[in-house]
Amino acid sequence: MSYSFIPDLPFKEPVIVFTILLTIILVAPIIFKKFRIPGIIGLIVSGMVIGQHGMNLVESGESIKLLSTAGLLYLMFLAGLELNSRDFLRNRNKSMVFGSLTFFIPLIFGLVVAHFFLSYNFLESLLIASMFSTHTLIAYPIASRLGITRSESVMITIGGTIITDTAVLVLLAFISAATQGTFTLLFWIKMILSISAFSFLILWGVPKISTWFFKNMEGESGSQYVFVLAMLFVSGLLASVAGIEPIIGSFLAGLALSSLIPHTSALMNRISFIGNNFFIPIFLISVGMMVDFTALFTGFGALIFAGTLVIVAILSKYAAAWVMQKIYGYSNSERQVIFGLSVSHAAAIIAVVIVGYNLKLIGLDVLNGAIMIILVSCFISSFVTEHYGRKLAIDEADKIPAKTDLPERILVPVSNPATIEGLIDFAILLREKNDEQPVYMLSVIPDDAFAEEQILKNNKMFESAISHAAAAETPLSLVSRVDLNVANGISRAVKELMVNKVVLGWNGKITTTNFFFGSIIENLISSTEQMVMVVKSSNPINTIKRILVEVPKNAHGEAGFNAWLAMLKTIALRTSSKLHFSGDEKSLSKIRDYYNTEITTLEIEYQPRVSAHPIIDQAPGITTNDLYVVIAARRRTLSYTHYFENMPRDLAKFFGNKNFIIIYPEQRAFERQALSSSLDGLENTSIPNGVERFSSLAKMKKNTPENRHNTMTE
């Protein structure tokens, strides 16, 4: 007798299914990111692979349907939660206009094509046309990541989504009633009353209940999150009772709670984290599982039919965005973002198709065509929103002046004793002369049985650095951080100390682990928004004569643009060096504008140039008396460009004995003024909020080395 230890396909064991889903959520975005493809696409494609029309690994059963529905409701809830209610109300008229356009234009396009070209009767044509009017905010996470969710074009698209999806669902109810012979005046009265009562209950009742709950459960973060989750799904349930699609209820719940949940709060962080890393990815995977490529190969007629539906769906949504642009004078980027967000079809179109199929108004050909609309529209939505969202973010950034008057706190993580003094020298070079803030020197200790012993060894080892800093009349504070992960330890110290500049030493080793999971630097810059500088000083920093700065395209659109320009000015003045900038003309023009407003004796040169491999091209002209500065960028940010992917390898190969700095600008201006006073007396206090082990050594008085003293806090 033989036994099989491998379950039959598709897998139905919950542990196996859950493992597959979590593996996809973890791995797919990492792999697709390496090929510059949005992670959303990776999740959808992965769903196609594991679904019943692919490898048939996972059955699209009740468990997947449950998690997928939760993900869709969570997506709409986050969209409402991140909206500023005042901005939303201010743009309500434009939202209504766009909602009308994105409903009626696709409806008219679809009605004409279905009735006159595909020969369906009126009710069947109306049902097919209503598929084109719906859309799902698949690309909303991209807009959120790019920081454009409060842009007017994004807000009116979200508002338009609610209007058009509500209109489609009302139309669907009309078609269903007409088919079943129940379409009467009573039908309209019940529909209007139920929608009005539901909207009032959510927008008035949810804030009242939530205010009472938050007041009485202050500090109970777990209970608060569960309460918010309950409000989300109760609102969806009430929407169903009122005859409205649950996604409308979840959006209104988010809008009702938006004023009660601050965007910078721990509760908001939990809501976003769980949604963006679990519920929403599972929804995207489930969308991919619905796609059936085999439908295209049932005959040439099926291919033509599906292609016709896809073309009408895409063109009609583009037409709505184009008309909106013409009416309100939006820019090309704003029009494309509106189109990118509104072109994707997913949940609502499935609801329309399933209802039509059950009413026997449409057949499998329309169902397969709808699946192809989902596939193509989701791809187009992701790429268009990613590409033009970056351009819109640059345009928005140009309107907001960057803040450079924030209190300066510099953190220097160290692990190699040989590089400590060089990194401290560089930090001292950046520091304002009369600043009372210390330079923080961080040591991250592995969390094991030898942690306390290692802290004591480090304290001994860093004594020379303390003396070195004291000689420059610079207070130095030693922080020991116990953590399982070096990047996490640095990131948490950055938050706890409210640091705005991080100075790291260079380690040019490229390993397989680094390629797939990222180096310490990559992991750090992905988890922090502060300016990070990676320094390699083969020669003393005070010997440099020229600073050559490589500026990527769109660098002027980053929030930290002014901050790194001010820092380079400080370095140049203190080392009596020339500044030489090379990059695209627009960024150089912004740099000129910045320095022209400054009273300075700097000698500055500008060289307009766009190169595919600037680091390799400039390497031969760099000498040991030069400091080469690369203005880099975090992935998926405005100024990120392809040559950053090979930057560690190129620098290690061509700059072995030369000085260089990699600067990752901060991503947004931090509002620290109100909090800065809490750390002004750091010398006499311990660091708050969950530091497992914290040591602060040799917080020196400024006047002389003899006045320094050592303290230890636990």
Structure tokens at 91: 């743009």
Which distant-in-sequence residues (6+ apart) come within 8 Å of 62 by Cβ? none
Cα separation, 519 vs 510, whole angstroms? 8
CATH 3.40.50.620 residue window(s) in the chain = 402-530+670-714, 536-664
CATH node for 14-398: 1.20.1530.20
Q: Return the DSSP state at 50.
A: H
**What confidence score (pLDDT) does residue 713 get?**
26
Q: Is the pLDDT assigned to residue 514 strictly greater than 60?
A: no
Closest listed residue to residue 255, CA positions, set 47, 76, 507: 76
Note the pTM of the prediction, 2 decimals: 0.58
CATH 1.20.1530.20 residue window(s) in the chain = 14-398
Structure tokens at 227: 């309460």
pLDDT band at 461; cut points 50, 70, 90 = low
Structure tokens at 691: 């530091």
Q: Is the CB of residue 562 less than 8 Å from the CB of residue 500?
A: no
pLDDT band at 434; cut points 50, 70, 90 = low
Q: Determine the average pLDDT of the residues in 56-60.
A: 84
Tens-place pLDDT, residues 204-262: 888 888 888 877 775 556 788 889 899 999 988 888 888 777 877 887 888 788 777 76
Q: Determine the average pLDDT of the residues in 691-695.
A: 33
CATH fold, domain 536-664, is Rossmann fold (3.40.50)
Of the listed ranges 329-343, 419-433, 490-504, the one predicted with least confidence: 419-433
CATH fold, domain 402-530+670-714, is Rossmann fold (3.40.50)
**What confidence score (pLDDT) does residue 345 get?**
82
pLDDT band at 684; cut points 50, 70, 90 = very low
Q: Determine the average pLDDT of the residues in 377-405.
A: 76
pLDDT band at 469; cut points 50, 70, 90 = low
pLDDT band at 448; cut points 50, 70, 90 = low
**What confidence score (pLDDT) does residue 677 get?**
34
Higher pLDDT, 120 or 683: 120
Q: Is the pLDDT assigned to residue 526 strictly greater than 80?
A: no
Closest listed residue to residue 550, CA positions, set 637, 654, 636, 644: 644
What is the distance of C-alpha 620 from the center of its chain? 37
Tens-place pLDDT, residues 115-168: 888 888 888 888 888 888 888 788 888 888 787 877 888 889 888 887 887 787
**What confidence score (pLDDT) does residue 698 get?**
33
Q: Is the pLDDT assigned to residue 101 strictly greater than 90?
A: yes
| First-last CA distance in the chain | 64
pLDDT band at 710; cut points 50, 70, 90 = very low
Cα separation, 114 vs 104, whole angstroms? 15
